[in-house]
A and B are shown apart, each in its own frame.
Chain A
Amino acid sequence: MNNRLTVRAQPALRLVTPACHDDGASQPIPAGQLTIALAGQPNVGKSTVFNMLTGLNQHVGNWPGKTVEQKTGTFQRPDGAAVGLVDLPGTYSLTANSEEERIARDYLLRERPDAVIAVVNAALLERSLYLVAELLTLDLPLVVGLNMGDVAEQHGIHVEPHVLAAALGLPVIPIVATRNQGVRELIDAATSLAADPARWTPVRPSIRPEHAPVLAEICTLIAGHLPPIYPEDWAALKLLEGDGEITALAKTNLPEATWDRVHALLLQHEDAYLNIAGGRYEWIGRMMRAAVIHPKAGAISITERVDRVVTHPLGGLAILLGILGLAFSLTYAVATPVANWLSTTVLGVLDNLAGRALAGAPAWLFGLVSDGLIHGVGTVFTFLPILVIFFAVLGVLEDVGYLARGAYVMDRFMHLMGLHGKSFLPLFLGFGCNVPAVLGARIIEERRARFLTILLAPLVPCTARLAILAFLAPAFFGSRAALVSFGLIAANLLVLAVAGIVVNRLAFRGEHTAFIMELPLYHIPNRRTVGLYVWNNTREFVRKAGSLILIASMVVWALSTLPGRGIDGSFLAAFGRRLEPAGQLMGLGDWRVIVALLTSFFAKENTIATLGILFGAGAATGTLAAQVAAALTPAARLALLLFQLLFIPCLATTATIKQETGSWRWMLASLGLLLALSYGAGVLVYQVGRLL
C-alpha cells in the first residue's frame, strides 16, 4: 500500500517551481517549517488575506501539471520564524466539479498542511460556510477567518464570532482583511492550533437520517481498500455524492464483488447528493440561528440600488461602454506621455552610454547594441505604461465587483456566439494582452465554450496592436485619425462577433452553455490588492514578452545587415521581396512593410521596431510614421492597419493557446483562421478602397 501511495503521489508542491512561471524568486518552504493553507470561496477576500500576510514575499506559478494559478508565500512571525502559506484556488465546494476544486482537495489530502485557514464572508455567511462544512470532513486543523464584518454591519447583519466559534467548535477570528485588522491574530490562531490540534473538537455536519445507514454500509465496505490518504468516511460521503474521481478510485481499488455491492447501493441512492448538500445547508442554518442577527426584511442595500441601474439591459450596456471608453482614454492619455518621456530620455541616455562604451569597438557591434538592443528596449517602453494603467483599471474594476456585472450585461450578446456572460471577462482582458485572455478562459466550465473563447481571444485588439494603430494613424489619416481608428476597432470587433457566430454554428452546432455566476457585493477597492495585481501581471509581461522583443529586435537587425551589402541587399530584403506579390493584393508591395508585419509574430510591437530599423536606415526626413505613410496609398494604409489588427497572434499567445487547449490542431486552426481573416479583410479593404 505504501508503494502505491508513493507512485500515486504528485511531487511535493512546495519544491516545484513550474517552468512556465519560474522567475527564480520563489521561496521553497523548507522542511520543518509550518505550512498553512488558505481556503475560501470566491469573493470572500481570501486573496486580500494572502496579500496582507505575504506582501511581495509571494510567488505566482502554476499547480504542477495544471493550468490553474498557484500562489505560495511566506509570512515572517515577530519571533523570526517563517510560516509557509499556500493560497488554494477559490472554490464553492470540494466536490470534483471543476479543476480548481480537484486541485484544492488534492492538495489538502496529499500534502496535509499543518493547519487550514478558511476565510468566510460575514455578509455572505450562509453560503461561505458551505466550504467550511466540506473542509470539516477532511479532518485537518481548521481556523475560521470571519472577514468583512464591516460590510455585513452595513447590510444590517451582525455576526457574533464567539458564538459562532462555540457552535462550530473551531477558533473563529474576526478580521477586516482590507485594513489588515485581525490578520496577525488569524495566523497566530492557526499556528497555535497546528501545534496542538486536540484543543478544539469541531462540530461536524452529519448526513440526514434517511441516508445514515447507507453511508455506514459503504464506509464498512470500502474499509482498508483505498490509499490511506483518503479518510474513509470522507471517501464514503463522496461516493454517495457521485464524485467521479473517488468513484473511479473505488472501482480500481475495491475487490470486484465489493465494488458491485457498493455500485448497487449508489444506484439505489442516486439522488443522495442533493440531500447531502441540503443537509449541509441545514447544519449551516443551525449555526446561523445561533450566531447571526438577521437584517430587517425589505431593507434595500446599496448594492441592490446600484444594480438596478448597472445591470439594466440598456442602461447597463451604456454604463459598460462608458466605463470601457473611459478606461481606454485614461490609458492612452496617461500612458502616451509617459512612454514618450521614457523613449526620449532613457533611450537617449542608453544610446550615449553605448556610444561611449563601444567607442573603440567595431561598427557592427555598435549597430547591434544601438539599432538592435536599444531599439528593442524602446519598444518595450512604448507600451509598458499602457499595460500598467490597463491592469490598474482592470484591477480596480474587478476589486470593486463591477466586472461580474459587465459579464451579466453582456450575456445576451455572448449568446449570439453560443457563449455566455462569463466569456466576456477573458475577452475583455484581451484588450490588455491576449495571453491573459487565453489563460482567463479557464473560468469557463464547459470545454466547448472555453475552446471557442480561446479561439476568439486573439481577435481582441491588444494594447500592442492598439499602440501601433495609435502610432501610425495620425500620420496616415491626419485630422480623421481618431475616426478611422474607431472605425477600424469597430470593424475588428464585428469580425470577432461574426467569426464567433459562424464557428459556433459550423463547429459546435449551436450547443448551449450553462450560465451561473455569483455577483459579489460592491466594495471599496484595496490598494494593496490592486497594486499586487498590477505588479504580478506587469512583471510577467516584461519577463515573457520583453525578452522575446529584445531577441527579435536583434535578429531583425542582424538579418537586415547581413550579408553586408546594405539593407537593400540583406537576407531580410530578399525574403520580403518573395512575398511582395501576396502583399501587392493588399497594396503592400513594399518588402519593408511586409517584413515588419511578419516580425509581429514574435511580439506585436515589433512591427514598429522593425519599421524603425528598415525605414530609419534610409536617411529620410520626417517621423517614422510619416515615412511609412509616404510609401503607401491611402487604401493601402487602411489595409495595413486592419491587417495588423487581425493578423495571427504573437508567439506568446500562440504558445499559450497550445498549452491551454493541449492540442496542436487547435493552435494551428487558430493561426489558420486568423491568417485567412486578416488577409481576406486586408485584400477586401484595399480593393474596395482603390475603387473609391
Chain B
Amino acid sequence: MQENSYALSALPVGKRAIIHSLHGGRAFCSRVANLGFTAGALLTVVQNYGHGPMLVSLRGSLVALGRTEANQVQVCADE
C-alpha cells in the first residue's frame, strides 16, 4: 500500500485520488483532518502548476494548500 502512495503535490489537474496518510506534525494533521483530509477521503486536483500553492476539491469544498503542505499529504490512486 505504502509503495503505491505519493505526495498530493505530484498530482496533475483533474486527477482524483484517495487520501492515504498525513505527515508533518500533530498540529498540521489535526487541522487538515478537521477540514476533511482523513484517510480514505476522495479528492480532486483543481489547480496545480507544479510550483506555488495548489487547489483541491474535497468533500464539496475548495481548499488551497501551500506546496509544503501538499507534500505532507500522501494519496493513492482512486480505484
Binding site for B on A (CB under 8 A): 92-93, 95, 97, 123-127, 130, 157, 241-242, 273-274, 277-278, 281, 303-304, 307-308, 311, 313, 404, 407-408, 411-412, 415, 420-421, 445, 512, 514-521
Take A124-B60, A281-B59 as given contacts and tell me if A515 and B35 are in contact as well, using a CB distance cutoff of 8 Å.
no
B61 contacts which of A97, A124, A307, A420 (Cβ < 8 Å)?
A124
Pick 23 A–B contacts, CB within 8 A, sort by A. Answer: A97-B31, A124-B59, A124-B60, A241-B30, A277-B33, A278-B40, A303-B62, A311-B47, A311-B55, A404-B64, A408-B53, A411-B52, A411-B66, A412-B52, A515-B53, A515-B66, A515-B68, A516-B32, A516-B63, A518-B62, A519-B62, A519-B63, A521-B62
Q: Are B59 and A127 in contact (CB under 8 A)?
A: yes
Neighbouring A residues of B38 by C-beta, 8 Å: 274, 277-278, 281
C-alpha gap A313/B28 in the complex (Å): 26
- Would you call B7 an interface residue if the criterion is a C-beta within 8 Å of the partner chain's C-beta atoms? no
B31 to chain A, nearest CB (A): 6
Q: Are B53 and A95 in contact (CB under 8 A)?
A: no
Number of A-B contacts (CB under 8 A): 112
**Which residue of A is nearest B27, CB measured?**
A97
Neighbouring B residues of A307 by C-beta, 8 Å: 46-47, 55, 62
Q: Are A127 and B64 in contact (CB under 8 A)?
A: no
Q: Are A421 and B46 in contact (CB under 8 A)?
A: no
Neighbouring A residues of B32 by C-beta, 8 Å: 516
Neighbouring B residues of A273 by C-beta, 8 Å: 26, 29-30, 33
Q: Are B60 and A125 in contact (CB under 8 A)?
A: yes
Apart from the given pairs A124-B60, A411-B64, A514-B28, 20 other A-B contacts in the complex at a CB distance below 8 Å: A93-B34, A97-B31, A124-B61, A273-B30, A274-B22, A274-B33, A277-B34, A278-B33, A281-B36, A307-B47, A307-B62, A313-B49, A421-B66, A512-B68, A515-B65, A516-B66, A518-B35, A518-B63, A519-B55, A519-B64
C-alpha gap A384/B38 in the complex (Å): 48
B51 to chain A, nearest CB (A): 8
B63 to chain A, nearest CB (A): 6
Take A411-B53, A515-B53, A515-B64 as given contacts and tell me if A126 and B33 are in contact as well, using a CB distance cutoff of 8 Å.
no
**Which residue of B is nearest A519, CB measured?**
B62
Neighbouring A residues of B53 by C-beta, 8 Å: 408, 411-412, 421, 515
Q: Are B34 and A97 in contact (CB under 8 A)?
A: yes
- Interface majority SS (helix, strand, loop, mixed), chain B: mixed
Neighbouring A residues of B28 by C-beta, 8 Å: 514
Q: Are B36 and A408 in contact (CB under 8 A)?
A: no
- Interface size band for B: 20 to 34
Q: Are A95 and B30 in contact (CB under 8 A)?
A: yes
Neighbouring B residues of A308 by C-beta, 8 Å: 47
C-alpha gap A519/B35 in the complex (Å): 12
**3 closest A-B pairs by CB:** A515-B66, A277-B33, A278-B38
Neighbouring A residues of B26 by C-beta, 8 Å: 242, 273
**Which residue of A is nearest B36, CB measured?**
A127
A174 to chain B, nearest CB (A): 18
A470 to chain B, nearest CB (A): 35
Neighbouring A residues of B10 by C-beta, 8 Å: none
Take A125-B60, A516-B31, A518-B61 as given contacts and tell me if A130 and B46 are in contact as well, using a CB distance cutoff of 8 Å.
no
Neighbouring B residues of A157 by C-beta, 8 Å: 60
B70 to chain A, nearest CB (A): 10
B52 to chain A, nearest CB (A): 5
A398 to chain B, nearest CB (A): 16
A181 to chain B, nearest CB (A): 22
Q: Are B60 and A127 in contact (CB under 8 A)?
A: yes
Take A242-B30, A408-B64 as given contacts and tell me if A516 and B35 are in contact as well, using a CB distance cutoff of 8 Å.
yes
C-alpha gap A514/B52 in the complex (Å): 13
B42 to chain A, nearest CB (A): 11
B53 to chain A, nearest CB (A): 5
Neighbouring A residues of B46 by C-beta, 8 Å: 304, 307
Neighbouring B residues of A407 by C-beta, 8 Å: 64
C-alpha gap A477/B8 in the complex (Å): 54
Neighbouring B residues of A516 by C-beta, 8 Å: 31-32, 35, 63-66, 69
Neighbouring A residues of B47 by C-beta, 8 Å: 307-308, 311
Neighbouring B residues of A125 by C-beta, 8 Å: 60
1/0 per position for B11-37, CB-CB distance to A under 8 A? 000000000001000111111111110
Take A130-B36, A274-B22 as given contacts and tell me if A281 and B41 are in contact as well, using a CB distance cutoff of 8 Å.
yes
Interface centre among A123, A421, A445, A519 (most CB of B within 10 A): A519
A314 to chain B, nearest CB (A): 10
**Which residue of A is nearest B32, CB measured?**
A516
- Would you call B39 an interface residue if the criterion is a C-beta within 8 Å of the partner chain's C-beta atoms? yes
Neighbouring B residues of A123 by C-beta, 8 Å: 60
Neighbouring B residues of A404 by C-beta, 8 Å: 64
Neighbouring A residues of B31 by C-beta, 8 Å: 97, 445, 514, 516
B64 contacts which of A130, A313, A517 (Cβ < 8 Å)?
A517
C-alpha gap A521/B63 in the complex (Å): 11
B5 to chain A, nearest CB (A): 15
Q: Are B52 and A313 in contact (CB under 8 A)?
A: yes
A127 contacts which of B33, B35, B51 (Cβ < 8 Å)?
B35
Neighbouring B residues of A520 by C-beta, 8 Å: 62
B30 contacts which of A97, A411, A412, A515 (Cβ < 8 Å)?
A97
Neighbouring B residues of A408 by C-beta, 8 Å: 53, 55, 64
**Which residue of B is nearest A412, CB measured?**
B52
Q: Are A126 and B52 in contact (CB under 8 A)?
A: no
Neighbouring A residues of B62 by C-beta, 8 Å: 303, 307, 518-521
A105 to chain B, nearest CB (A): 13
A124 to chain B, nearest CB (A): 5
B7 to chain A, nearest CB (A): 15
Neighbouring A residues of B61 by C-beta, 8 Å: 124, 126-127, 518
C-alpha gap A127/B47 in the complex (Å): 20
Neighbouring B residues of A412 by C-beta, 8 Å: 51-53
A325 to chain B, nearest CB (A): 23
**Which residue of A is nearest B22, CB measured?**
A274
Neighbouring A residues of B55 by C-beta, 8 Å: 307, 311, 408, 519
C-alpha gap A278/B22 in the complex (Å): 12
B15 to chain A, nearest CB (A): 14
Q: Are A126 and B59 in contact (CB under 8 A)?
A: yes
A278 to chain B, nearest CB (A): 4
C-alpha gap A520/B55 in the complex (Å): 12
